[in-house]
Chains A and B, each alone.
Chain A
Amino acid sequence: MISILTVSLVPLALGLFLFHSEALGPNALPLLSTYMALPLVAALASFWAPARLARWATLFFASAQLGLALKIFCLYQTALGGYQFTEQFPGLEGLGLHYALGVDGLSAPLLILVSAVYWAGVLASWDSPARPKEYFAFFSLMTAGAAGAFLSLDLFFFFLFYELDILPMFLLIGIWGSGRKQYAATKFALYLVGGSALILVGFLALHFASGINSFDIRVLGDLAQTGFSPAFQNFWFPVLGVGFGVLLALIPFHTWSPDAYASAPTAASMMNAGVLKTLGGYGLLRVALPALPDGAKHWLPLFAVLAVLNMLYASLVALRQKDIKYVVAYSSVAHCGYLVLGICTLEATGFSGAALQMVSQGLLTAFAFGLVGLIENRTGTRQWEQLGGLSALAPVLGGLFMLNTMANVGLPGFSSFVAEFMVFLGAFRSGFEGGFAILKILFPIAVTAIVIGAVYYLRLMQNVFFGPVRRPTEGPFVDLRSREILPLVLLLVLSLAIGLYPKPWADMVNSSLVPLIDHLGGFK
């Protein structure tokens, strides 16, 4: 435990204080590229290091990356807004490609999410999986892909980094997964590649229809320069919307996600459900809405219907699941509905809610999957009907699961409360104050879905942790060790930080969302 703390805190401090400080000169290393490259270095290191050191190497770089994420978050100047720490290198001018990274109010909190889930995921898979070198290398590669996608300002690199996630995730499910892992892995890869085919075509269409030889997100989001016709926007918005919708597990494109999450090893589920899915919402806010505002106004009501269907349908399905991991998987699908609903309000509060929901559902889903992994590890089963009274045996596990239930139900104090409240407020305003009239109908349905969410989580809590002790195997039951608690605590603390004092986070996301709302021009 002490060695884990040392290997975590030293690089964390290095990332926070030493790096990029005056001691190394003003621009010793490009900040964002280093942030993106750290998991790549970790992947190489764990691949070349001896097998027993792979996890230590990964932990080292993951902690350093977490330090950098905190540093970027602290250094980002909310008052200035816009893209900061931008880095740009010339690329293929003839094709309009260039490598450009930047961070703004929307992506800075997401970097913390990426690094926190990465760090927690490494610790969650600490008890060496088979072939640890490859395992940690693929896990790091996935993180690098997510980090790169959040930072890219060029559509080519955005797409490249996003697709970089698919192969490692496929292997993580297929090799280290459980249950119908080959089926789940193949389904995952085919769905995501199918979705990304739409995204790719949409990106190319934006590029060529703009008449500007550039893939720069900043340029393509500037209507004065691109001047897409409304007909063009109406045609291409749903293409991009469905492409990102597959990633978001939006109904009816969601069927890959519960299978993938339930079959994947714990850390991969955490990263995929927590971070990768968020990328879909991020893509909508970052690319589709700014470039195609008229198309968005035309199509968002339909997406709002899908979002509410997501909440309702996934919650109802979760109610019927016997496998705890499937319950959490469907719950994560349901929570993405809030995110999409927030975007569909086309209103400032709703947007902030959506952005906070990205971070919040990422943290909490990762938290829930981490807990499920521990329950399975202790009891050898994931069928909740076989379990009961665990909190008598393991009070810490029970306590953490109670907090998880409260957070997922959306009690005040947790980030989910703030995010969901803002989404609902936005939906209400949009519906009743001249936005999308359909939200008037959808709003009460969405609130009902929250209640269903409370039902399945509370029932799970009651069955698994209260009542007489039931478990399939006998023998001693060890409560959580400090090494297992540590990653969960990090995720929980971050969620509470947002929930108890949301102002800095909300200000930060608003610094890039308020200009976006102005750009979209409100309702016509």
Chain B
Amino acid sequence: MIEFSAFQTEIWLIATALLIIGVGLFLPGQKKAMDWLALLGVLGALLTLPCSGSRCGAVVCAMPPEAFHGFLRVDGLAVFFKGLILLGTFLALVASFRYLDSQAVRHRSEFLAILLFSAAGATSLAGSQELITLYVSLETLTISSFLLAAFLKKDKASNEAGLKYLLLGAFSSALLLFGFSYLYGLTGTTVIAEMGKSLLAQPSSAIEVLAVILVVAGLAFKISLAPFHMWTPDVYEGAPLPVTAYLSVVSKIAGFAALARIFWVGLTAPALLPVWTGLFAVLAALSMILGNLEALPQTNLKRLMGYSSIAQAGYLVTGLLAGGTLGIGALLFYLAAYLFANLGVFLVAAVVSSKTGGERIVDYAGLWKREPFLAAVLTAGLFSLAGLPPFAGFAGKWFLFSAAVAKGYTWLALLGVLFSAVSLYYYLQIVRQALLAEPKDPSPIEAGLLEKCVLGFCLMAIVLFGFWPTPIAQWAQSAASSLF
């Protein structure tokens, strides 16, 4: 039996996207209408989540709604991931409006619609319990992202970003699919849970290990773990700013949704566990080291945030490695903290760059004199990313690293803490420009009412999660418990 509530979020998003295309076709001048439609569509999708049976994920239902023979199931974890993805999409949309105006992008309806399609792919990925569904969702997400990255047709950097992303993305998808095909061949099923049982029952073989390595490599591309991170700085720098914001958060969250499900449900066989945990531990360490060190000399904000996001992926993987409700709960909490901090920073960047046209760090000089509120959100966001209290990133890192130490990854936690201290250096470069330097051009930067409200919301979340992490951490843990 098909329960529509299992994919009503996606229906909402796709219906809104189609409606926006219709508006764009027949009423191309109605920019405001398209913007509000897109926002309402995402909000509507967000409101469907509590109705998905899991009651906001706080109480996990005995029988979460499922569809297509259980290929899609909205359990507590899926609800949490979908909530994050939709919030991220909402914030990226808000960041894009002014930017689209300032770049005089002509096909606004297409941009918004593709963004929503992409978000629909991400949300359905969060609920996928089966490899093909998961793969198709992932491709919906990434192919839309290629288009978004190359959306500024006249801009060389944007085209380069789109092409690079397409080539490497296709390559990694092929690796992933190759790995999936071996897994299917070994187990005869594509349902992740059954695959896990079947792998537990059979003796280990070299082909299993090869399959796991392929899947690890394929997904490491998607969440930009070193050494599969080469595309990230170029794509982040070249893509339009709101798209960079979207990629850095939503695509990463979706990648972790896939990782958590595939590895902790499908590949827990005792012969495989050390293979992928070992691989991920090395990749996480490399990401922390390379991401943080390469970020140090950067002068372009988007490129710097690209390297920063590589490092952040490294921290996040420690939660994945730790596993259990504690580890995955920490991962979820940190994703939430990362979402608000990163998108807060990008939203500020969108407002600033639509006024100044610059994306270098020095373009933020004296931001506090031009608009103190923007400077405050920027500072809070960057300090949260660096993991300083009283911001959310501190509590998040505490949970992540304590979960890692509890499972014996002390060296990884040590590395994470030390490189967090390193990361403060490059985050401080931006803060220093924004708060301490004198502006070259003292004219004020006006943020719109919607942007101010959303920025205020981000700031509140960053501070509140930091001071009082308990409720959201408990929610994250109960969501994580649907995996184990």
Contacts and interface: CB of A to CB of B under 8 A. Distances in A.
Interface string A196-221: 11001100110110000000000000
Contacts of A166: 388
Contacts of A207: 402, 405
Interface string B175-212: 00000000000000000000000000000000000000
B362 to A, nearest CB: 14
Interface string B427-438: 010001001110
A189 B402 contact: no
Contacts of A208: 402, 405-406, 410
Contacts of B436: 174-175, 181-182, 185
Interface in A142-198: 156, 159-161, 163-164, 166-167, 170-171, 174-175, 181-182, 185-186, 189-190, 193-194, 196-197
Nearest to A204: B405
Contacts of A94: 325-326, 477
A186 B428 contact: yes
B389 A164 contact: yes
A174 B432 contact: yes
B370 to A, nearest CB: 15
Given A91-B470, A94-B326, A186-B428, A163 B402 contact: no
A171 B435 contact: yes
Contacts of A185: 432, 436
Interface string A428-464: 0000000000000000000000000000000000000
Contacts of A24: none
B413 A204 contact: yes
Contacts of B425: 186, 190
A2 interface: no
Contacts of B325: 94
A161 B467 CA distance: 10
A488 to B, nearest CB: 30
A94 B327 CA distance: 11
A196 B418 CA distance: 9
Interface stretch (B135-143, B166-174, B263-271, B393-401): B393-401
B414 A164 contact: no
A92 interface: yes
B388 A167 contact: yes
A170 B431 CA distance: 10
A164 B383 CA distance: 11
B477 A204 contact: no
Contacts of B70: none
Interface residues of B, number: 33
Contacts, number: 78
Given A156-B398, A160-B394, A174-B435, A197 B418 contact: yes
Contact of A189 (B394, B406, B428, B477): B428
A137 to B, nearest CB: 11
A95 interface: yes
Contacts of B470: 91-92
Contacts of A91: 470
Interface string A302-318: 00000000000000000
Interface in B324-375: 325-326
A190 B296 CA distance: 13
Given A174-B436, A204-B401, A193 B474 contact: no
Contacts of A194: 421
B163 interface: no
A185 B431 CA distance: 11
A39 to B, nearest CB: 13
Interface string A370-412: 0000000000000000000000000000000000000000000
A171 B431 CA distance: 10
8 smallest A-B Cβ distances: which pairs? A197-B421, A174-B436, A163-B389, A160-B389, A197-B417, A194-B421, A193-B421, A208-B405
Given A186-B425, A193-B424, A200-B417, 10 more contacts: A92-B469, A95-B399, A160-B390, A164-B390, A174-B432, A186-B432, A193-B421, A197-B417, A204-B402, A205-B405
